[in-house]
Structure 1
Amino acid sequence: MKWRFRLLFSLIVALQLSFNTAAIDPLVIKGSKFFNSKTKKQFFFKGVDYQPRSHDSRTNLDPLSEVDACLRDAKILKELNVNSIRVYETDYNLNHDKCMAALEEAGIYVILDIATPLYSINRNTPFWDVSLYDNFKKKVDAFAKYPNVVAFLIGNEITNDRLTTPASAFVKASLRDIKTYIKANNYNVYVGYADNDDEEIRVSLINYFNCGDDPMSRADFYGINTYRWCGPKTTYESSGYAEMSEPLKGYSIPVMITEYGCNTVRPRNFNEVSAVYGENMIGIYSGGFVYEYSQEENDYGIVKITNGKAEKLPDFYELKKMYTIEPSSQTTFDSYNPSLKVSECPQITEFWKVKSKILPPTPSIEYCNCMADTFKCSTSQPSQNGKSLSNSEKSLGKVVDYICGTVPCNDTSTDTLRGIYGPMSFCSPLQKANYIINKKFLAENEGSSACSYNTINTSINKDPKVKELSICNKFSKQIDLKPSLESTPPKNDPPKKKSNSHSTKPGTTLQLALICFVLMFIKYVF
């Protein structure tokens, strides 16, 4: 009889372990390195950039929402010896459960770009406002729940030359606010930034995203998109990799190559992989991501997708061979005790136009809405409509420009060179325009002619809901940090009851089998 109890006890223990075992181990950052939190070994990303476009009759550019294509590609990625992918464009409104579960079961971690073409910081006319903040938070909410989502990229090559350095101030503000949001909601994900390896500004960018006293304003890791290494005869020195690595020695956060794989010399033999995971680089870099998975017009693909079928190109087999290389690092979480310092902030120069220690404020929708409730003169016509401006939007812009030539508009403007950011600078374009229109109206003693323009429709409200703008000041620091997607069902899913689980986890089949076996054992043996 004792053997029956022993066997039953063993089965129950196995069942308990199956519930506690995830298909993929969490990754953690310590100093300038990633580690597997279970094995304590240093982790290196051996990845590809994954963004198939317009191959599977899809109606969107979110590859993680296309279940059949994702299940197909997860198997191919596993064959490639990949342990991670970077995905540029996703839609938080869609469902990603099955794809993310398939990638998790294949042992593949995911790094996601937060921004999309419609919601991103514009390098030429940068701003960080309530709309972008809301969309970025929703992206985090939609993906942070998946165990294999390691991190988000807050921006990709937004500052890409000396003329666009002011944009970095707004990127860093978004980094601060999204990291704060992640911490408030106990999400176990990191946030980094990827640059374009521009010679004039790269050192300033490297330092900028790792400087300052506030840890929320510093990136958790740093990415570099680089195509320096070209051809089979290139070396660590001749490629420029040695030069690229120099300012990263002693860097206090992890660095990875978020894009690489020059295609000017064919076929690509990817011999740079041996350097990325070799002794010259593993002390600084945590691996990288080859650009890219699918064959597109730019001719970087390693897989060609036609009518739902994936054909492995010669580059696939070259990369597969190189991805058998294992880094020789013996560093473990417990043995690694870094004493690294954060970077010095870059000074203003002809190449860097940002006062580094001052950032734009955190957007507050409550403050903006309160401000809008004070207006006595305003317009209701839209101030922004997609990428191109309509005639009405252009007309409103001209009115605003005219007014700002007669009254100060500092409250809605920004100046990265001096580190000045107006208290309304994060409000919507329409709210800012109305603030300026209303300001002129008040300055001209609220005469009816002061609220009349030939090219836009305006109206006068003699009894606004909020009487004084100063009343709104209490909302300027009131930031909504609650998850934003709790009651938003995915668009492509039918209505369903709430569940504590976001998907059928890998291992569920094993758990069900063990439960059935235990029940049968009890029924027929006892």
Structure 2
Amino acid sequence: MKFSALAAACVGAMVAAPTLALDNIVIKGSKFFNEKTGEQFFFKGVAYQPRSGVSGDLDPLADPIGCKRDIAVFKELGLNSIRVYEVDYSKDHDECMKMLEDAGIYLVLDMPSPKYAINRKAPYWDEEIMGEWKKKVDAFSKYSNLLAWIAGNEVTNDKDTTPASAFVKAAIRDMKAYIKSKGHSTPVGYADNDDMNIRMNLIDYFNCGDEKSRADFYGINIYRWCGDKTTFKTSGYEDVTKNMTDYSIPSLLTEFGCNKVRPRTFPELKSLYGPDMNTIFSGGIMYEYSEEDNDYGIVSVSYGDSKLTKTGDYENLKKALAAAKPKGVKMSDYKPATKESTCPTLGPNWHIKSDVLPPTPSTARCSCMMDSLSCTLASTTLTKDEGTSLGDAMGYICGQTSCDGVSHNTTKGFYGDYSACSSAHRSAWVLNENFSKSKKCDIDGVKTTTVKSPKQKDQGSCLKQKDDLNNDGATSSGSGSSSKSPSSSSSSSSSGKSSANGNAASAVVSVQLFSSAMAVAALFALF
């Protein structure tokens, strides 16, 4: 992903007369198909995230003026899909989504938002994040042109952040289950950053193990093909294509379009939609539609304004897309012969016990735990300064006592009983743990309170509470996970700090939330 501040996207409609709902796009083996016609579906899309002229939260799918302006361009380009990174689920998207539907354009929508996302440096999949994602699913699942969800975009981007992928995979597991429980079958996938050192481990990891936790499709964000002098071979596209041969789920380029040479002429489309790649990849999404500070746009637009100016890239993309005529296979003739991948093993570039996932969050369990505390936060809504002070305190406390109940160690497959609670709830648990030993509840810079007679007498019954998918809470962990504390977890957090340049083992151990005061402070900066 080439921009850090994700914005919401809006799309509109140009056809006044009502049309029937778009045909359902389904997955069979490693390909997408139009369920009605049986024709193979190839993505011809753009990343749609206009940010100019926006005040407050970004949501172009709630801007009918921008939607009407841009959908005319989408049709002129011959697009069939757009990718949107962020929306505000509380806003009305009916008008834009209907305009998109009438124009024959499908939506690929990212589940995370800047505030509710899995942090690669301090990863957790918790009740708060899952709750927000569920609301987004509820808001958009009614639209027939919602084609796919993306549960993570470049979350793991180097070997030191591989532990974060365990939490993304847990999120995929839980969101797939939630979508199914609502009577929908929209696929959920992941988009990686094409890092050569971890690429194959990620590709294998998101397609191994239990089908319920595997990604439904895999996306690659790639920016290697730079200019007309680059070729299929020299760009590295050939190697990327070989990596996906015999992959059992669909793959596509979820971002592409190197801008080192401008105007861009998009020579990679000839390979992407031609015989070099179209038997392996299901097309792709060009980055990006609107011209922003990063200089990737094909048009210049502003939120709520009908004016549009085309950049030098526009006609070149239009020409390249017009020439792209991928030859697919009929769904009835396609016989998948591939199997799921083998999970990666622990090593210098992989810090996850691959057969164990973090637990499904349980709001009931976390609420029960909070009701059992004798020392807790006066409020779970904190300022940035309070979050920083609390982070410092957590780092110190967990250097003196075990915080296993709210910590995790991905190399050992350990996830504490309350590790899927929100960051505020995890902090309250630590405060109470410290209070039980020191009888001190005060924290400098943070308002705390003591409770003489907690509503919940002990936490034993809390572990039996159902999770947020209504499953019985027999254990604290996800599939195959152990709730037993690893022998290294207490000692590994004794320093109260994470090592920036330690070896692989210490880097993984430092992922535990309260072994790094800075990580905690960063989490609370969101409040």
| TM-score between both structures, scaled by the size of structure 2 | 0.83
Residues 374 and 404 of structure 1, relative CA distance in 2, 3 Å threshold: same
CA deviations 1:373-420 (Å, max 9, x no partner) are 1112223144754xxx31x32332333333323321101101111111
Alignment of 1:64-83 (within 5 A): 64-83=61-80
Aligned to 2:449: 459
Of residues 351, 359, 363, the one that matches 1:361 is: 359
Alignment of 1:258-337 (within 5 A): 258-305=254-301, 307-337=305-335
Of residues 432, 437, 440, the one that matches 2:434 is: 440
The separation in 2 between residues aligned to 1:316 and 1:23, in whole angstroms, is 29
2:262 touches 2:313 (CA, 8 Å); kept in 1? Answer: no
SS in 2 for 1:334: helix
2:189 touches 2:218 (CA, 8 Å); kept in 1? Answer: yes
SS in 2 for 1:459: strand
2:372 touches 2:456 (CA, 8 Å); kept in 1? Answer: yes
1:261 touches 1:290 (CA, 8 Å); kept in 2? Answer: yes
The separation in 2 between residues aligned to 1:80 and 1:454, in whole angstroms, is 59
Superposed displacement of residue 454, structure 1:
5.4
Of residues 443, 464, 475, the one that matches 1:474 is: 464
Of residues 44, 52, 55, the one that matches 1:54 is: 52
The alignment status of 1:402 with 2:365, answered yes or no, reads no
CA deviations 1:88-117 (Å, max 9, x no partner) are 111101111010110111111110111111
SS in 1 for 2:332: coil
Aligned to 2:168: 171
AA aligned to 1:421 is: Y
The separation in 2 between residues aligned to 1:75 and 1:286, in whole angstroms, is 24
The separation in 2 between residues aligned to 1:265 and 1:473, in whole angstroms, is 57
Residues 422 and 357 of structure 1, relative CA distance in 2, 3 Å threshold: same
1:360 touches 1:421 (CA, 8 Å); kept in 2? Answer: yes
Q: Which one has the largest radius of gyration?
A: 1
Superposed displacement of residue 344, structure 1:
0.6
The alignment status of 1:195 with 2:189, answered yes or no, reads no
Alignment of 1:35-434 (within 5 A): 35-55=33-53, 59-212=56-209, 214-305=210-301, 307-382=305-380, 384-385=382-383, 389-390=384-385, 392-434=386-428
Superposed displacement of residue 215, structure 1:
1.3
1:196 touches 1:225 (CA, 8 Å); kept in 2? Answer: yes
The separation in 2 between residues aligned to 1:398 and 1:46, in whole angstroms, is 48
RMSD: 1.9
AA aligned to 1:302 is: I
Superposed displacement of residue 260, structure 1:
0.7
AA aligned to 2:281 is: Y
AA aligned to 2:223 is: Y
Paired residue total: 453
1:282 touches 1:327 (CA, 8 Å); kept in 2? Answer: no
Residues 230 and 454 of structure 1, relative CA distance in 2, 3 Å threshold: closer
The separation in 1 between residues aligned to 2:399 and 2:55, in whole angstroms, is 48
The separation in 2 between residues aligned to 1:351 and 1:402, in whole angstroms, is 30
Q: RCO greater where, 1 or 2, for CA within 8 Å and sep 6 or more?
A: 1
CA deviations 1:455-489 (Å, max 9, x no partner) are 544333222111121111221546359xxxxxxxx
Residues 420 and 290 of structure 1, relative CA distance in 2, 3 Å threshold: same
AA aligned to 1:417 is: T
Aligned to 2:20: 22
SS in 2 for 1:43: coil
CA deviations 1:156-198 (Å, max 9, x no partner) are 0111111111111111111111011001111231110000111
Superposed displacement of residue 145, structure 1:
1.0
Structure 2: unaligned runs, 5 residues or longer: 1-16, 472-527
The separation in 2 between residues aligned to 1:309 and 1:455, in whole angstroms, is 50
1:25 touches 1:38 (CA, 8 Å); kept in 2? Answer: yes
The separation in 2 between residues aligned to 1:295 and 1:457, in whole angstroms, is 45
Residues 226 and 452 of structure 1, relative CA distance in 2, 3 Å threshold: closer
1:124 touches 1:164 (CA, 8 Å); kept in 2? Answer: yes
Superposed displacement of residue 58, structure 1:
5.3
Superposed displacement of residue 22, structure 1:
2.1
AA aligned to 1:257 is: L
AA aligned to 1:263 is: N
2:150 touches 2:189 (CA, 8 Å); kept in 1? Answer: yes
1:165 touches 1:352 (CA, 8 Å); kept in 2? Answer: yes
Superposed displacement of residue 452, structure 1:
4.4
2:368 touches 2:462 (CA, 8 Å); kept in 1? Answer: yes
The separation in 1 between residues aligned to 2:444 and 2:136, in whole angstroms, is 41
